[in-house]
Amino acid sequence: MTTAVTGCARANGELLDEPAPDAAGVDARPIDAAPDAAEPPDAPSPDAGCAISAGLSPVIDGVADLEDYPSAQRLTPGAMLGADAIAIAWDASKLYITATSVAFESDYKPLHVYIESATAFTAAAPAPGKEYSGLVPMLPFAPTHLIAARRTNGVDMYNSVYLPASTWTTRGDSLAPGTHVFSSTDHRTLSVAVPWTALGGCPTAVRLAVHVVHGVSANEWKVLVPSTHTPWQAPGGGYYEVDLTAAPAVTGWTLR
């Protein structure tokens, strides 16, 4: 298995903007496209007794999505490529993430959102993430789910919620363009809306770390949330712990 390294993680430097074996072929392995990869229901509420707060519901559709979030939900990422930004919110039915970056002008540079969903946390245990383009990130906790989305879904239907089984090649639910994944016309903003049913049903707390797989030597991972996240170096740096029963404002999250 490929492991994360400090600094230069690829000898050739560039992540191809074509569906090369690493960017689209390897991730199209049969196990990734297993028949259990179903599209999640369109925003059913979790169990009626679920304590996830009502939060807020940004109307993401690929048009000025970042503006659909109040300032309390916006974050300034680390390792930016320009005027990058990320916004995160939730309601009782879905988790919403919007990222803006020039990285998404490339068809095959994905947004990866790692989630450890729980009702009560034990001590965080670092773990490797999903391989992409020959790169394996280090995470400062053991995720239960990976929300993965590219501007171009590709023939392999990459946009999915992945599970850690078989080194993250197992899919839970597919994320459909126009329903769960939205891209702006300038190709710089990518949004996802993921039902809680695809993320464990009714978690009341999550650990969270976000990055874009940039794939350039010495700049393999960019647009980091939190800004202290270090996917290139074990144990993976910082992460957020988020109480889903509380108001969604970022100021209420705990930075670890």
Q: What is the pLDDT of residues 207-219, one digit of tens each?
A: 999 999 999 999 9
This model's pTM is above 0.85: no
CA distance 10 to 211: 18
How confident is the model at residue 49, as a pLDDT? 79
How confident is the model at residue 167, as a pLDDT? 95
Is beta strand 189-195 parallel, antiparallel or unpaired with respect to 219-225?
Answer: unpaired
CA distance 122 to 147: 22
In 145-188 the beta strands, taken as DSSP E runs, fall at 145-149, 160-163, 170-174, 181-183
How confident is the model at residue 88, as a pLDDT? 99
CA distance 135 to 105: 20
Walk me through the domains of the chain, giving residue ranges and CATH numbers.
52-255 (2.60.40)
How confident is the model at residue 10, as a pLDDT? 36
User: pLDDT tens string for the chain (256 positions)?
Assistant: 444 444 433 333 344 444 443 333 334 333 343 434 555 555 455 556 799 999 999 999 999 999 999 999 999 999 999 999 999 999 999 999 999 999 999 999 999 999 999 999 999 999 999 999 999 999 999 999 999 999 999 999 999 999 999 999 999 999 999 999 999 999 999 999 999 999 999 999 999 999 999 999 999 999 999 999 999 999 999 999 999 999 999 999 999 9
18-69 per-position pLDDT tens digit: 444 333 333 433 334 343 455 555 545 555 679 999 999 999 999 999 999 9
CA distance 100 to 31: 31
How confident is the model at residue 46, as a pLDDT? 56
What letters, b where the CB count within 10 A reaches 16 and e where it falls short, cover 214-240?
bbbeeebbbbbbbeebbbbebebbbbb
